[in-house]
Amino acid sequence: MAQSNGMYDRLAQSLRDMPRQLGAQPKAVLVISAHWEEREFTVMAAERPPMVYDYSGFPEHTYHVQYPAPGLPALAEQVRQLIQSAGFSALLDAQRGFDHGSFAPLVVMYPLADVPVVQLSLRAGYDPAEHLAVGRALAPLREQGVLIVGSGLSYHNLRRMGPSAAVPSKQFDDWLQQTLVTTEPHQRAQRLIDWQDAPAAHVAHPQEDHLLPLMVAVGAAGHDEAVCVYHEEGFFGGVTVSGFRFGQEGGV
Burial category of 24 from C-beta neighbours within 10 Å (exposed 0-12, middle 13-18, buried 19 and up): exposed
What's the pLDDT tens digit per position in 134-192? Answer: 999 999 999 999 999 999 999 998 888 989 999 999 999 999 999 999 998 888 999 99
Let me know: does 26 contact 115? Beta carbons within 8 Å: yes
pTM over 0.85: yes
- Domain definitions of the chain by residue range: 9-246
Counting as low any pLDDT under 50, the low residues of the chain are 1-4
pLDDT at 111: 95
Q: What is the CATH number of domain 9-246?
A: 3.40.830.10
Task: Please state at what angle helix 128-138 crosses helix 212-221, rounded to 10 degrees.
Answer: 40
Beta-carbon contacts of residue 31 (< 8 Å; ≥ 6 apart): 101, 102, 106, 117, 118, 119, 120, 149, 151
The full length of the chain comes to 252
**Using H for helix, E for strand and C for coil, what is the string for the chain?**
CCCCCCCCHHHHHHHHCHHHHHCCCCCEEEEEEEEEEECCEEEECCCCCCECCCCCCCCHHHHCCCCCCCCCHHHHHHHHHHHHHCCCCEEEECCCCECHHHHHHHHHHCCCCCCCEEEEEEECCCCHHHHHHHHHHHCHHHHCCEEEEEECCCCCCCCCCHHHHHHHHHHHHHHHHHHHHHCCHHHHHHHHHCHHHCCCHHHHCCCHHHCHHHHHHHHHHCCCCEEEEEEEEEECCCEEEEEEEECCCCCC
Let me know: does 22 contact 251? Beta carbons within 8 Å: yes
